[in-house]
Amino acid sequence: MVMSISVPHQDKLIKILLAFALLLNILFWFSVRDIDARWTNVPPPPNEKYASLYGLGDSSFSYRINSLMLQNLGDTGGRVTALEDYNYETLAQWFYLQDRLDPVSNFIPYLASYYFGSVQTPEVLSPVLDYLVDIGKRPYGEKWRWLAHGVFLARFEMKDIDKALEMANILSNVENDDIPGWARHMPAFILNAKGEKEAAYALFLEILKSSSDKMHPNEVNATKSYICTRILSKQEAVQNPICKNIY
């Protein structure tokens, strides 16, 4: 059809059609301009059997991609999402999936405890604490630190002393020779905070009797100081032989 039209007319016709196509594009732009990417909350994690497909079979690469995605989740496309709006149940599922992909890295435990742990509504933290317990009771590396941080979150953020005590007991029994005394003594600190001063005192006394030869002198002194200043009253401390050199 176009071939039968003279060249000047063809030129004019193409210009008109081009302008028409441009107009259609502008109209289409108006119809979609206000549609932004929407936050649909934390997406469900894939099955662990297929998770490494994201990295073309390389599980470590999948782990790193997912980690960066979780770090930036909800805060992309010019949007900032409050942590309290996240679905923490689904987040914890992602954490466990990531743990299957790379159980050695500390990136996800860090993200779970320090970043997602600072949520404005700490009552949603329960699944994160369960995750930190599972990670923290591993006997290798410095994994116990995540459990210790979990105790802090339960004690001071969630104000759930029973949960904190439960976690502190797990921490004190982790089979890792590198765990320092303060972490081993965590149940006594929590008992003291709970108001069970006699139990806390008994626990600290037992620790001093059984482990003071293995503890650093500074740690022994710090433990004695804690007993005398935080557990015992001033009158009790004056009469207690442990506090002899402190008062």
CA dist., res. 226 & res. 222, Å (int): 6
Selected binder of other proteins within 6, 56, 80, 209 (CB under 8 A):
56
Report how far Cα 146 is from the mean position of its chain's Cα atoms. Answer: 9
Q: Does 173 bind other proteins (CB under 8 A)?
A: no
Q: Which stretch binds other proteins (CB under 8 A): 18-26, 97-105, 150-158, 182-190?
A: 97-105
Contact predicate 183/157, CB 8 Å: no
Backbone φ, ψ for residue 56 (5° rounding): 50, 45
Q: How far is the CB of 83 from other proteins (least distance, A)?
A: 15
Q: Does 52 bind other proteins (CB under 8 A)?
A: yes
Contact predicate 55/102, CB 8 Å: no
Q: Does 98 bind other proteins (CB under 8 A)?
A: no
Contact predicate 13/5, CB 8 Å: yes
Q: How many CB atoms lie within 10 A of CB 202?
A: 13
Contact predicate 193/161, CB 8 Å: yes
Task: Provide the CB-side half-sphere exposure for 145 (13 A, CA).
Answer: 12
Task: Please work out, in degrees rounded to the nearest 5, the angle formed at the alpha carbon of residue 173 by the alpha carbons of 172 and 174.
Answer: 100
Q: How far is the CB of 85 from other proteins (least distance, A)?
A: 20
Q: Does 60 bind other proteins (CB under 8 A)?
A: yes
Of 65 and 237, nearer to other proteins (C-beta) is 65
Q: Which stretch binds other proteins (CB under 8 A): 53-61, 73-81, 152-160, 218-226?
A: 53-61
Of 111 and 243, nearer to other proteins (C-beta) is 111
Q: Which stretch binds other proteins (CB under 8 A): 10-18, 45-53, 144-152, 235-243?
A: 45-53
Q: Does 196 bind other proteins (CB under 8 A)?
A: no
Q: Does 197 bind other proteins (CB under 8 A)?
A: no
Q: Does 4 bind other proteins (CB under 8 A)?
A: no
Which of these, 132, 138, 140, 139, lies nearest to 157 by C-alpha position?
132
Of 24 and 53, nearer to other proteins (C-beta) is 53
Q: Which amino acid is at 177?
A: D
Q: Does 107 bind other proteins (CB under 8 A)?
A: yes
Selected binder of other proteins within 22, 68, 202, 238 (CB under 8 A):
68
CA dist., res. 145 & res. 149, Å (int): 6
Residues that bind other proteins (CB under 8 A): 49-50, 52-53, 55-61, 64, 67-68, 71-72, 102, 104-107, 110-111, 115
